[in-house]
Amino acid sequence: MQRPPRGAWSGFDQMKPASEYDIRYGNHLVKSTSSQWPSYVAISSPTAFRMTEPHLTLPPDTVGYPEMMDFDYLKQFTQGLPEDIDLIVGIGGGLVLDASKYVALSKQLPIVLIPTIVSTGAIIHSVFAEWEGRNLGDTKNWPWIDPEYILVDYDIVLSAPDHLNIAGVGDVLCGYSTICEWKHRESRGIGEPYDESVVADMSALHLRIVESFPRTLSSEGTLTPASVKLIMNAIKDRDSNSVTHPDAPAGDHSFIVAAELANDRSWVHGELAALGTVIIAWHTEQSPETIIGRLEMCGVRWRPSDMDMSKDELAKALAACPGYMGDASRGRDLPSVLRLEPVVGERFERLWEFLANDE
């Protein structure tokens, strides 16, 4: 293993692209690979570690359970971990994997990632966000660290509830919001004309996912190893097929942070991204039935009722979007329709009626 690892507290343009990640797939993968590890600390959640512990040939020296991504908190958390170790192993979902990157970079140790659910880009992104509580710090100086490799162990991932893994599909299909935003800006005479060729690769990826994913399911409609691999590949392929045009802002992901900041709670990342995309499609009148049909085809949960989100919580989330997306003190200037044409008051009531009627 490489020591020290490739990583830094800024300059994430130097990180390894997702297409070059060493991602290993298989059954009993953690059991066979962990026998070769030196002394290590596992960074996990109680649930994720319970899922994974029976598969570890060698136990960790210590298990750390981070509760948040706030950097002041993580500094104290890292200082409480042992010094005499040679490896960091991140075991869990998005928050845990990103926290493990912070620990590894702080200690200048190599890191291995073991996702217990395949639901977010944290699995295939070296960069991790700087947080202040639930608020994102300056995006220009986020830190990064390249993992040695990633173990996608089917025995572990498939033991999680299906909807948590399927949320990874939602985290990819939410790119549809950028098309909606761009077409809406064009209809308002803002920016450059919509260019189908710019979004062609992303649209083709989405169509392949919607066509292929249902075929990977078992006869009972449950996930299989092929389903897990397709989700992972979709998350990885998203990076090289995403739309980065200035007239196509990704309002769906900023909606996630605004929602969680306004309500001081979290939801499943890919499900909340899917809801944000449906809202943007509805608000821009850009065929919300298209994204809803795709989400339904793949079994992605997106309705507020599915994710235990109340009407009041959604109202708070959308009311917070303008302030969050336009927070100049934090370098934010996202021209999303959720900021420029807020979904509040009577407009929110119409949205809620639309969402309720689609139950």
Q: What is the pLDDT of residues 129-143, one digit of tens each?
A: 777 766 666 666 789
Has residue 195 got a pLDDT over 80? Answer: yes
Bigger pLDDT: 96 or 120? 96
> Could you give the percent of the chain with pLDDT greater than 90?
79
Q: Label residue 240 by pLDDT band (50, 70, 90).
A: confident
Distance CA 104, CA 147 (A): 9
- 319-323 long-range contacts (CB < 8 A, ≥24 apart) are 319/262, 319/344, 320/258, 320/259, 320/261, 320/262, 321/251, 321/254, 321/255, 321/258
pTM: 0.91
pLDDT at 9: 86
**pLDDT, the chain, mean:** 93
Q: Label residue 22 by pLDDT band (50, 70, 90).
A: very high
Which residues in the chain belong to E strands, given as ranges? 7-8, 23-26, 40-44, 62-64, 87-92, 111-115, 131-132, 135-136, 144-145, 149-153
| 73 CB-side CA count, 13 A | 13
Has residue 267 got a pLDDT over 60? Answer: yes
Distance CA 313, CA 296 (A): 23
Average pLDDT over residues 311-319: 98
